[in-house]
Amino acid sequence: MKLTSIISVNFNQPEVTLAFLQSVKDNTIGIPIELILVDNGSKEDNGPRFLAAYPELIYLRSEQNLGFAGGNNMGIKIAKGEFLLLLNNDTEISPNLITVLTETMEQDQEIGIISPLILYYDQPDIIQYAGFTEMNYLTARNRGIGNMEKNEGQFDLDSRETGFCHGAAMMCRRKDLNHVGQMAENYFLYYEELDWCEQFKRAGKKIWFCGKTKIYHKESISVGKESSIKTYFMTRNRMLFIRRNTSFLNLLLFSCFYIGVACPKQIFIYLKKGRTDLIKWVFRGIMWNFSHSKSSENLGFKI
């Protein structure tokens, strides 16, 4: 069995990360892996605690928060495995995860990136992800397959092409990155995995879902459901994704819809909920796209 590099990123979540390390330790016995953890601008250096929990851990620390893509890219650069498995630190895995994903990719060399079934950790009978539909590029919207359905084994035998992978768990081959490249770091948070899937598609690779294995995701630990950070980056990056991945005509049509319909609708929802504090972040997210090129380096985020 070939070496798999597992890459994960920690940002101020030492207890969550310790549980992740234990899950990997318990569920990869006899499987050739290297585990790389990037501490991504955390206030405290918990390296000694992480290494005590997982002595073979390859621990990297960045003093600056590089974002989701930047943190993972830091690990990708030193990874030695033929397969790279990017896992959120707020996940716990199944014993057959690496075996099933690597075997699926070995059976079809056209698969570029693959994700497993994802269940909610606190509600393990509820599905978070069983694939995505294709993107409507005029609205920058798609749909999660199986999302919020009760898991009754309906996806357990599925192994199929899908619209996009899920950022909580994605496996690819190291050799494909010579053509595809790493994740775009100017997203910082949200949409970067969708953009990466677009890069794989342009390289002629398939985006794949495999329901024969699963992970459990502790969703919404890093960022609240409604926060300034989420509002800003979801607004900003929805437009950035279209700018980077569609034609000028599509961008023009999308912009009319987004600025004229979608964003005003979101502002109205915030007004109705009494979350007027979030409205300025909608405007800031839009305006970023008019003051930065689609390949601009990430400049971070400050409240």
Instruction: Give tens-digit pLDDT for 282-298.
Output: 999 999 999 998 876 65
pLDDT at 270: 96
Question: How far apart, in whole angstroms, are the C-alpha atoms of residue 191 and residue 203?
Answer: 19
Q: What is the mean pLDDT of the segment spanning 82-87?
A: 98
Architecture of domain 4-217: Alpha-Beta Complex (3.90)
Q: 228-245 and 192-202 helices cross at what angle (nearest 10)?
A: 20
The string of pLDDT tens digits covering residues 94-152 is: 999 999 999 999 999 999 999 999 999 999 999 999 999 999 999 999 999 999 999 99
Contacts of 240-243 with CB under 8 Å at 24 or more apart are: 240/186, 240/187, 240/191, 240/288, 240/289, 240/294, 241/140, 241/187, 241/191, 241/194, 241/195, 242/137, 242/140, 243/289, 243/294
The string of pLDDT tens digits covering residues 210-258 is: 999 999 999 853 445 788 999 999 999 999 999 999 999 999 999 999 9
Q: What is the mean pLDDT of the segment spanning 270-285?
A: 96
Domain edges within the chain: 4-217, 228-291
Reading the block at residue 82, the tokens are 């033929």
Q: Strands, E, within 134-293: which ranges?
A: 159-161, 169-173, 206-217
Question: How far apart, in whole angstroms, are the C-alpha atoms of residue 223 and residue 227?
Answer: 7
Q: What is the mean pLDDT of the segment spanning 5-27?
A: 97
CA–chain centroid gap for 172, Å, is 13
| pTM of the predicted model over 0.85 | yes
Size (the chain), residues: 303
